[in-house]
Amino acid sequence: MTTPLNAITIDVEDWVQSVLDPDLPLTDRFVRNTHRVLELLDAHGVRGTFFVLGLAAEKAPELVREIQRAGHEVQSHGYGHRLIHTLDRDAFRTDLERSRKLLEDITGQPITGYRAPAFSITQETLWALDVLVECGFRYDSSIVPVKTRRYGIDGASWFPHRLQTPSGYDLMEWPVASWQVAGVRRPIGGGGYFRLYPFALIRKAISQIHRSQAPAVIYMHPYELAPEELSELPYRVPWKLRLHQSLGRRGFARKIHRLLTEFRFGPIRSVSASLEEVPVAGQAVWNPCGEMADAG
Ligand SMILES: [Zn+2]
């Protein structure tokens, strides 16, 4: 039996605007960095899902067309990278619609998938799931099934599942990969965790996920492939942020290379199609507003 097809997802944004300060303009660096991602995936013949920030699409529409021409799935990372808990319902809807219209105009295709800036759909911002469905979105990949300092919901289903939004709509959720270690669930699918863990541990985590016949959803940012970037920026970066953000960047490309060599990856749309053939063990509808259903 072959192991499940996993999802590789890329949040296309510029580090300066998305991480350092949302009021700063995007630098051109994200274009070069996204080309690095495209080359890396192409070298492995792998297609992924690119959640493109509206501001990035506006600045570099040709880049979005390149991503699409290379056969990748283009979806939305919102427009301005404003964390959802800083927005009210109307402001979130405006941000979402703006990104969707931009991306649909550029790609000529319906945009139906979403990832929130910094995974900012939490217990306090579940209303955003209603807005997603009301705006025509079919899936979300913004809920981390572990509560950390910045994001996450403890007890959320960790495998791809249908959830019920607060208003009772049905929405497909694709949580990024997490695994159970020493009785505790921990994120593993990207960011600092992924950059710091040795590859052997990542391999072990993905194998554990596969034992439930579930796919691993991995995420990355183009800037993580640019170890030189943080020392070249014309901005003062607080030392703590610089430390956290630069850790593991040097070995990141090599790690992704190993990942793509050892496991099968595709865009979410392909993983979704593969799941219709093999149902995920213990899959159940999760209602984040009521009783926790089978969270696995
Ligand atoms: Zn982001």
Average pLDDT of span 131-150: 94
116 CA to centre of ligand 1 in angstroms:
7
pLDDT confidence of residue 2: 81
Average pLDDT of span 257-272: 97
Is the CB of residue 124 less than 8 Å from the CB of residue 132? Answer: no
> Would you kindly state where each structural domain of the chain is located, as residue ranges?
6-277
Which carries the bigger pLDDT value, residue 148 or residue 62? Answer: 62
Degrees, nearest 5: CA angle 216-275-206? 20
Degrees, nearest 5: CA angle 40-42-48? 85
pLDDT confidence of residue 283: 47
Under DSSP, the state recorded for 224 is G
Q: What is the pLDDT of residues 280-289, one digit of tens each?
A: 444 455 666 5
- Only one residue has tokens 């570099």, namely 60
121 CA to centre of ligand 1 in angstroms:
13
* Dist. CA 162–CA 68, nearest whole Å: 27
pLDDT confidence of residue 258: 97
282 CA to centre of ligand 1 in angstroms:
30
136 CA to centre of ligand 1 in angstroms:
21
14 CA to centre of ligand 1 in angstroms:
8
* Dist. CA 178–CA 183, nearest whole Å: 13
Q: Taking 50 as the threshold, does the pLDDT of residue 212 lie above it?
A: yes
Confidence label for 195 from pLDDT (cuts 50, 70 and 90): very high
* Dist. CA 31–CA 17, nearest whole Å: 14
52 CA to centre of ligand 1 in angstroms:
9
Average pLDDT of span 31-41: 98
* Dist. CA 48–CA 71, nearest whole Å: 8
Q: What is the pLDDT of residues 81-114, one digit of tens each?
A: 999 999 999 999 999 999 999 999 999 999 999 9
* Dist. CA 110–CA 101, nearest whole Å: 9
Taking the CA atoms of 231, 232, 233 and 234 in sequence, report the sign of the dihedral they define.
positive
211 CA to centre of ligand 1 in angstroms:
30
Q: What is the pLDDT of residues 231-253, one digit of tens each?
A: 899 899 999 998 888 888 999 99
Confidence label for 155 from pLDDT (cuts 50, 70 and 90): confident
pLDDT confidence of residue 102: 98
Cα of 248 vs its chain's centroid, Å: 19
Average pLDDT of span 135-159: 92
Partners of 75 in the β-ladder:
51
Structure tokens at 54: 């509206």
What architecture is domain 6-277?
Answer: Alpha-Beta Barrel (3.20)
pTM for the full predicted model: 0.93
70 CA to centre of ligand 1 in angstroms:
22
pLDDT confidence of residue 287: 61
Q: Taking 90 as the threshold, does the pLDDT of residue 47 lie above it?
A: yes
- Only one residue has tokens 């510029």, namely 14
